[in-house]
Amino acid sequence: MQTDFNIIINGGGLAGNSLALALAHTSLTVGIVEPFPPANKQRSLLESRTIALSHGAKRIYEGMNIWSDFEPYCTPIQSIHVSDKGRFGMTRIHAKEQNMPALGYVMQIAEVNRILCEKLSTYANIHYVSPARILHAALVDERWQLSISQNEQTYDYCTDLLIAADGGDSPLRKIAGLSVDEKDYQQTAIVTSIQLTHSHNYTAYERFFDGGAIALLPVKDETMAVVVTVNNQLLSFWQGLSDGDFLAKLQHVFGYRLGRFAQVGSRTLYPLKLVTSPEQTAKQFVLMGNAAHILHPIAAQSFNLSLRDIAVLAEMLVNALNSGQSITEPSLLADYTDLRHRDQRRTIQFTDGLIEVFSSPFLALPRNIAMTGLDMIPPLKTMLGKYGAGTLGRLSRLARGLGI
């Protein structure tokens, strides 16, 4: 027996689940294949990874009618403070001067995914195939034929459109024969959380120092999510620090703007690379989320960019349905690639450029002058704010907070 879907999404992470939700109110049947059962255990704030969702991401989730479910779990970022340790440059961006309710929103990834999964379970046309894995996929007579292993049995599925949202190592991307370009930053992100003794006042901080950067994001209960990015030559030093020494080092680099750091959570390491896929689509096949591109976390853009990809693809699929066109029409995916090219290139160049500017000791003076200049020239700051918010250029309906 064969189970039939219009769309199969491989991977029920943030990208796969968000795309499924964007399509949930349509007549399309969507299967999500995920090897791990939804994690529904609650973690303490000090023990879980967070994500900063931009103002643009909020609008997209408003369009999907799920933002109000997120709201109780997210912490707004009212301002961002950027500085360079031991140098004069500093800039601060405020939500008010950007005419935004907040510059972004910090949420635990596990919480976002739990709420997405709960919402998806209320739609009859969305099916979770989990725990399960695609063993084999082939395009036969304009349909993808899949063998999927579930509970030690193998089942046959078929679908019109196949989406790989199965993460940076995307097994489906390899099956589809799509290549990636990689640039190794020779840097590692150390992710953790700290407890403060002072209020963070809903401010996020980015502080650069010789050999790295510290990003602090406000979370509830005076906790801050911490991402320390260090050059790999310094990694063994940072890794070797005890919790107390790690906290003292953070405090030394960051200073006492936020009072004394009281407690630190466990630390997780992420090697940092820029990964891009020259071809993000093949016949009746699309790469989505980390499977399509991975950016350095310095500007918190990676998933926010993916969400804009998702908004555009979902809108194009709905437009095709509404105009009686097939969702397998090759021009649809060609148009999707064209429409996404500019935003993807701009966001990748912006993030990559920040790494270059802030990693180079030779650029310390110009970058400090630039930060000071930025602080004094409001239109430039507005432009930077729009970059961060993901609200530059032509926006999809979802990105304008409208349903599709």
Ligand X SMILES: Cc1cc2nc3c(=O)[nH]c(=O)nc-3n(C[C@H](O)[C@H](O)[C@H](O)COP(=O)(O)OP(=O)(O)OC[C@H]3O[C@@H](n4cnc5c(N)ncnc54)[C@H](O)[C@@H]3O)c2cc1C
Which residues are near ligand X by CB under 6 A?
10-16, 33-36, 51-52, 133-134, 165-167, 171, 189, 191, 227, 270, 289-290, 297, 300-304, 306
Radius of gyration of the chain (CA): 22
Residue 252 buriedness (CB in 10 A; 0-12 / 13-18 / 19+): exposed
User: 10 Å Cβ neighbour count for 96?
Assistant: 11
| Shortest CB 115 distance to ligand X, Å | 15
| Shortest CB 270 distance to ligand X, Å | 4
Q: Note whether 180 and 276 are within 8 A (CB).
A: yes
If the CB atoms of residues 28 and 51 are measured against ligand X, the closer one turns out to be 51
Sheet of 75-77, strands arranged across: 50-54, 104-108, 75-77
If the CB atoms of residues 191 and 348 are measured against ligand X, the closer one turns out to be 191
If the CB atoms of residues 71 and 169 are measured against ligand X, the closer one turns out to be 169
| Shortest CB 372 distance to ligand X, Å | 26
Q: Note whether 234 and 110 are within 8 A (CB).
A: no
List phi, psi (to 5°) of 204: -100, 145
**CA distances in angstroms from 322 to 54, 57, 333, 337, 404, listed in the order given:** 30, 25, 17, 21, 11
| Shortest CB 305 distance to ligand X, Å | 7
* Helices and strands (H and E) in the chain: how many: 11, 20
| Shortest CB 347 distance to ligand X, Å | 10
User: 10 Å Cβ neighbour count for 29?
Assistant: 18
| Shortest CB 140 distance to ligand X, Å | 21
If the CB atoms of residues 300 and 399 are measured against ligand X, the closer one turns out to be 300
Amino acid identity, position 33: V
| Shortest CB 215 distance to ligand X, Å | 8
Q: Note whether 180 and 287 are within 8 A (CB).
A: no
If the CB atoms of residues 108 and 284 are measured against ligand X, the closer one turns out to be 108
Residue 123 buriedness (CB in 10 A; 0-12 / 13-18 / 19+): middle
Angle at 29 between CA 57 and CA 280, to 5 degrees: 55
Q: Which residues pair with 136 in a beta bridge?
A: 147
- Please state, in angstroms and rounded to a whole number, the distance separating the CA atoms of residues 63 and 69: 13
If the CB atoms of residues 89 and 164 are measured against ligand X, the closer one turns out to be 164
| Shortest CB 263 distance to ligand X, Å | 20
If the CB atoms of residues 89 and 352 are measured against ligand X, the closer one turns out to be 352
If the CB atoms of residues 110 and 332 are measured against ligand X, the closer one turns out to be 110
